[in-house]
Amino acid sequence: MFDLKKHITAASVDEAIGLLIENPDARLIAGGTDVLIKLRHGKQTFSTLVDIHGLDELKGIKIDGQNNILIGSGASFTDIIQSDILKQQIPMLCEAAQSVGGPQIRNVATIGGNICNGVTSADSASSLFALNAMVVIRGDGTLRQIPISDFYLGPGKVDLKTGEILTSIIITPENYQGFFGHYYKYAMRNAMDIATIGCAVSLKTCNHLLTDFRIAYGVAGPVPMRCSKTENSVLNKRVSQNLIEDIFLSIETDVSPRTSWRASREFRMNIIKELSKRVTKEALIRAGEQL
């Protein structure tokens, strides 16, 4: 059924790194909800799996002494939905996790696997872009931390060298404290469907001015993306219906959706524009603004 030579269960992250270096044709498996589909469809270029699914050192969700939120790459979407820290501090990320697949998928699929597969439709990615998340990557005696926007190199391609493992995701307090956000996934079906467009907004207001505004999309380009032209154009403007209209008018200058079997470019553009309004409006209402 699966054309697999070896399945090796790693007892630690260090051991997994060693196994990847010893077996250059190996692929990591966390939840396996992407990797096993590839194997089943015979699309794989690998025949050995290094299994990190059981590693507790990759699973926790915690806040450190500097109020950084640390999410282990092996946290499942159910772990994220049920995390008191995330429910209180970053409910937008729980919304994104809730929109993934069905309960069985959410129980095993990990946030690490979601971003390491490099696809633009990954539901957690746009929220992580809006949160300026950092990703922590361990290799053979190396440790590096880079912004998630640098992690995506192209469709299906992320910045992981041989032997490297994504160990955690960090969200610093200046990127979540005082922010209000919302994630919305537009898909052709309500359940078990990949996003046609995903949109995350995270914002701050002060005295009814929009003092910080981040809007990120999945499937609006080859990789998840922020919309910096629109973000900059509305900064420190007064919250109003006109402001939401300005965002709606500007957003198409930032994005480059494409036609696929799922939806045409034109249809995606309409959804992108509509979501810019609706998701921003919901985030503003959560911030206590009256619209």
Ligand X SMILES: Cc1cc2nc3c(=O)[nH]c(=O)nc-3n(C[C@H](O)[C@H](O)[C@H](O)COP(=O)(O)OP(=O)(O)OC[C@H]3O[C@@H](n4cnc5c(N)ncnc54)[C@H](O)[C@@H]3O)c2cc1C
Is 81 a binding residue for ligand X by CB under 6 A? The answer is: no
Q: Read out DSSP for 47-113?
A: -EEEE-TT-GGGT-EEE-TT--EEEETT-BHHHHHH-HHHHHH-HHHHHHHHTSS-HHHHHH-BHHH
What residue number has its CB nearest to ligand X? 113
* Distance (Å, whole) CA 131 – CA 259: 28
Our finding on whether 163 is near ligand X (CB under 6 A) is: no
Query: Closest by alpha carbon to 222, among 257, 270, 253, 264?
Result: 257
Q: Which of the 8 DSSP states describes residue 277?
A: H
Judged by CB under 6 A, does residue 34 bind ligand X?
Answer: yes
Q: Does residue 192 interact with ligand X by CB under 6 A?
A: yes
C-alpha torsion 110→113→118→121, nearest 10: -30
275 binds ligand X (CB under 6 A): no
DSSP assigned state of 238 = B
Q: Least distance (Å) from ligand X to the CB of residue 43? A: 12
The pair of three-digit structure tokens given for residue 76, joined into one six-digit string: 């499942």
Residue 285's contacts (CB-CB under 8 Å, 6 or more residues apart) are: 291
* Beta carbon nearer to ligand X, 19 or 194: 194
Task: Check residue 72 for interaction with ligand X (CB under 6 A).
Answer: no
Structure tokens at 248: 């709606």
Nearest partner of 82 among 60, 54, 113, judged by Cα: 60
CB nearer to ligand X: pick between 203 and 220: 220
**Which member of 19, 166, 216, 243 binds ligand X (CB under 6 A)?**
166
**Which position among 10, 17, 19, 30 is part of the footprint of ligand X (CB under 6 A)?**
30
Q: Does 20 participate in binding ligand X (rule CB under 6 A)? A: no
Least separation, in Å, of the C-beta of 154 and ligand X?
Answer: 15
CA-based diameter of the chain, in Å?
62
Interface residue with ligand X, options 10, 19, 31, 247 (CB under 6 A)? 31
Using CB under 6 A, pick the residue from 73, 78, 168, 250 that binds ligand X: 73
Q: Does residue number 60 form part of the binding site for ligand X (CB under 6 A)?
A: no
**x/- letters, 96..115, toward ligand X (CB under 6 A):** ----xx---x---xx-xxx-
Least Å from the CB of residue 248 to ligand X = 26
- Indicate whether 10 belongs to the interface with ligand X (CB under 6 A): no
Q: Do residues 283 and 182 make contact, with C-beta atoms less than 8 angstroms apart?
A: yes
Q: Is 244 in the site for ligand X (CB under 6 A)?
A: no
Task: List residues near ligand X by CB under 6 A.
Answer: 27-35, 37, 73, 100-101, 105, 109-110, 112-114, 116-117, 121-123, 160, 165-166, 192, 194
